[in-house]
Structure 1
């Protein structure tokens, strides 16, 4: 078992720039500031996707920057820093000797370390998928094939190249704001390339992606203005019955992903937990419910991408084709 001192020096993930322009670890203050803000925004986006409870707490995202190129380290004991900053912010909510205990109770079920790891993996995979497909704005995925008991999807790009992707990251790609990575991508030049990587020692899993000037444009496009309205016929708060294929379930966010007309729509139960619908994963089904086009963070009306607050799921496949969700 590793002690605290050892864990403090284990690097789980890195976001870095490499090339002659940063070979001494130099990046001017303005660019460095923009990158750090961008990292904060990106990780919060994926943290909220993994567990919506993070939106209820104030916390800072600690980043250790060092030379050797321009490197932002994320340590294996990242959760300890998150809890520390969250507890500091919680001080404004609690008083007296009960402060520590009440704060700990608030955070004990969040699972900071696991959720952060999932968020960073999601970030890396979304970058890889976008680079492979050459876009972060085209939501319609046409050339693909489900493999390995429907737990992975094989994506084919316009050059005929293949990328094997865990199915849960496909929806995160489809719902990712097209400008999310712009602050990181804006400073990419011929002699300054972006690398995002993680090394999960506990699960023996490594992954990385490199973005250069050739693929930079994928991530520097503007957001909503040029993005088409997805399924405009699905009007907010209207009742719908959608026939499609359920491709994944996420207990943390209590959502499922429905493949519908070559798009993936996020669906969540009006009441209860998605575990009640585990028998419908990887099946063709009909989802009944209400269209939701409200921003789940701000409550503002949005029209670009609908979600469905479902009341019923009816599987239209035989039981022997259904697979376990959990």
Structure 2
């Protein structure tokens, strides 16, 4: 066991055939980390509103065949309006003092571990009920002090702390969407939390078959491949590729991206404002639309609603083709 694992209160791991030697795209890694940050902060706020200003450093370690984020027990920093680097020792003390007031006999590492445990158990509950959040009619009391059971359609019961249920009832429906967005065919997500006695990690997993339980819309059922499943409807993206076509009548551009041409449509205005970028390598920023043609069917190929295009090269002799 190395230092990162030994001092961890929990972890996230992407693994499978699509994660060769721990390598994944920067966008997938970034979304997982941002999703983790959102979830941890939410559960910390539920434990004590006074911790709303605390941010987390999450060391990242990769290993053969997987990509791992170890959540360290001493990974808390306070973010303040005066937060100069030289204030590090001061704000750490402030965080410790706040924790003393809010948690009495427990420390900040306990708060983080409990947040990871609440996250792990939320995944278990949503898998248990297949994404159904109407838990009020499924509750079973009397299993023990501080515990409540949730029944699924098969009559099976899963037990969680009552305080967790209160947190889950108020959680935004899409809270786990970002953290599970990197899951696809050949790439699953494991969430582990250190056991109460500290001897092992208890884990749960999210597979491609589970994604619809966490706010993801199932793909349209057709014979073609569902291109770039990590690009979901409403996601903000920054894609690097080559603009290969422009159609003024359709007011659209074509972006060659990883072997496919994606349809790109300006969010505002006409494509003429982007004519200087045509046939050049560039960065296209915008919002993913999977419902561009039909409002109730997720299309197999995403459309990008453009907010900005930045050329990465110049062509002084480029013809005006628009």
Looking at structure 1, the residues matched to 85 and 184 of structure 2 have their Cα atoms a distance apart, in angstroms, of 51
Structure 2 partner of 1:114: 110
C-alpha contact 1:182 1:220 (8 A) present in aligned 2: yes
Shift of 1:21: 0.5
* Pick aligned residue for 1:25 from 22, 25, 28: 22
C-alpha contact 1:194 1:212 (8 A) present in aligned 2: yes
TM-score by length of 1: 0.56
* Pick aligned residue for 1:104 from 63, 73, 93: 93
**1:65-99: per-residue Cα shift (whole Å, max 9, x none)?**
32231111113xx22x31xx33xx55926999x99
* Residue 184 (str. 1) matches residue 179 (str. 2): yes
Shift of 1:164: 2.1
User: Could you list the runs of 5+ residues in structure 2 that have no partner in the other structure?
Assistant: 100-106, 218-322
**1:137-178: per-residue Cα shift (whole Å, max 9, x none)?**
x34432332133342222220122221222222122221111
* Residue 146 (str. 1) matches residue 141 (str. 2): yes
Q: Which has the higher helix share?
A: 1
* Residue 133 (str. 1) matches residue 122 (str. 2): no
Secondary structure at 1:195 match in 2: strand
Structure 2 partner of 1:73: 70
* Residue 48 (str. 1) matches residue 45 (str. 2): yes
Corresponding residue pairs, total: 208
Looking at structure 2, the residues matched to 183 and 63 of structure 1 have their Cα atoms a distance apart, in angstroms, of 19
Shift of 1:118: 1.2
Looking at structure 1, the residues matched to 14 and 88 of structure 2 have their Cα atoms a distance apart, in angstroms, of 41
CA spacing shift, 1:65–1:93, aligned 2, 3 Å: closer
Secondary structure at 1:104 match in 2: helix
Secondary structure at 1:182 match in 2: coil
Shift of 1:27: 0.5
Structure 2 partner of 1:92: 82
User: Could you list the runs of 5+ residues in structure 1 that have no partner in the other structure?
Assistant: 223-326
- Alpha carbon RMSD of aligned pairs, Å? 3.0
Structure 2 partner of 1:174: 169
Looking at structure 2, the residues matched to 152 and 10 of structure 1 have their Cα atoms a distance apart, in angstroms, of 29
Secondary structure at 1:34 match in 2: helix
TM-score by length of 2: 0.56
* Residue 123 (str. 1) matches residue 119 (str. 2): yes
Structure 1 partner of 2:35: 38
Secondary structure at 1:180 match in 2: coil
Structure 1 partner of 2:265: none
